[in-house]
Amino acid sequence: MVAQEINKGSPQTWNILEGHGFTTLSLAETLGGGQSFVWDQDATGVWHGVINQVMIRLRIDGSLLEWQTNNPRCFSKKALLHYLWIDATYQDAIDTLPWRSDLILAKCMDSLSGLRILRQPLDETLFYFLLSPVKSIPQIKETGRKVSETFGPSLGSGRHGFPGWTRLSEVSEKELRDFKMGYRAKNVAGTAQFIKNHPNWLESLQELSYNDARTEIMTLPGVGGKIADCVLLFGAGMLQAFPIDTWIDKVLTQRYHLDDWSLKQKLSFAHLHFGDFAGLAQQFFFSSERLRLL
DNA sequence: GGGCAGGTTGACA
DNA sequence: TGTCAACCTGCC
């Protein structure tokens, strides 16, 4: 289906993104490693995804990172550089992390050179992470894709975008359950109603400090500390957010020997030790542990 | 069939 | 403040 679209009319040229620093591995972990659920890799290694309701393709060819879109009028190279965090602030963040004195972190960063935190839309990120408790990445993608196909805008080639919370607020909890959400349907429906009744509330979180935004977003049904940190890190660019899931907990317990520390104490340790870019460190740990690179 | 998983919540000590 | 079961679904 996707291939037909690509071959329709004149073949599209691949555009080059300079100065990216990705490897095949770090690009795969960035797009498919659990911070985003809208990217799929085909058999030829090309990544197909959606950014701001526009279909985008990405591939690594040698040392080149290349991209193309079916909709160049609605999408700019600048938008893609922003989404992929390809700018000078990434190198600043890397330099700021305490890898010089932390051999565990240094090893993870070395194995996954170029790994990024994506700058994703806040509304969509909140939706996907409400689906995430005790679900695997393929399950979250499947449910999200089916909800988008049913309620979201068609983007061509059979692909659909995120419907938005306004549209989701018109869908009953019972209907949502048919998408295999289980008990999460109640949280999605409750969140949709809250957002409908509080216009601009979600956007206004971006203006708050990390601590205030975290407290605020945890008032939503189904959003505890872990999901709050995921949404703020991946959807609001708050890079100090440090989501602790079972993988990260394992790293802190086994590698940093915090065996008897409570979750709250581990969180304090992470903020103190990793600093303003703790979330980026977290992503290096997450992928390293998941891929058994540590 | 039973147990468990990338989490949250409410009950209870 | 900490522990525990329940919640859906899919997979081993």
pLDDT, one tens digit per residue, over A81-128 is 999 999 999 999 999 999 999 999 999 999 999 999 999 999 999 999
Residue A177: CB less than 7 A from any atom in strand C: yes
CA distance linking residue A158 with residue A142, whole number of Å? 14
Query: What mean pLDDT value characterizes chain A?
Result: 94
Tokens representing residue A184 in the block: 């999460």
Instruction: Classify strands A64-69 and A40-41 as parallel, antiparallel or unpaired.
Output: unpaired
CA distance linking residue A21 with residue A15, whole number of Å? 16
Higher confidence at residue A6 or residue A123?
A: A123
Q: What is the mean pLDDT of residues A48-70?
A: 96
Q: What is the mean pLDDT of residues A208-212?
A: 96
Residue A88: CB less than 7 A from any atom in strand C: no
Residue A186: CB less than 7 A from any atom in strand C: yes
Q: Tokens 């240094």: give the residue.
A: A106
Is the Cα dihedral A165, A199, A123, A53 positive or negative? positive
Helix A225-235 × helix A278-290 angle, to 10°: 110
Check residue A294 and give its pLDDT.
Answer: 86
Query: Does A4 have pLDDT greater than 80?
Result: no
b/e per residue, A103-124, with b = 16+ CB within 10 A?
A: ebbebbbebbebbbbbbbbbbb
What is the number of other CB atoms lying within 10 angstroms of the CB of residue A100? 9
Of A48-52, A165-169, A256-260, give the lowest mean pLDDT range: A256-260
Query: Does A6 have pLDDT greater than 50?
Result: no
Helix A263-274 × helix A278-290 angle, to 10°: 110
User: Domains of chain A (ranges plus CATH)?
Assistant: 2-86 (3.30.310.40), 88-110+238-294 (1.10.1670.10), 122-235 (1.10.340.30)
Confidence label for A11 from pLDDT (cuts 50, 70 and 90): low
Which nucleotide has the shortest C1'-to-CA distance from A133? B7
The pTM for the full model equals 0.95
Considering only the C-alpha atoms of chain A, give the largest distance between any 2 of them, rounded to a whole number of Å.
Answer: 62
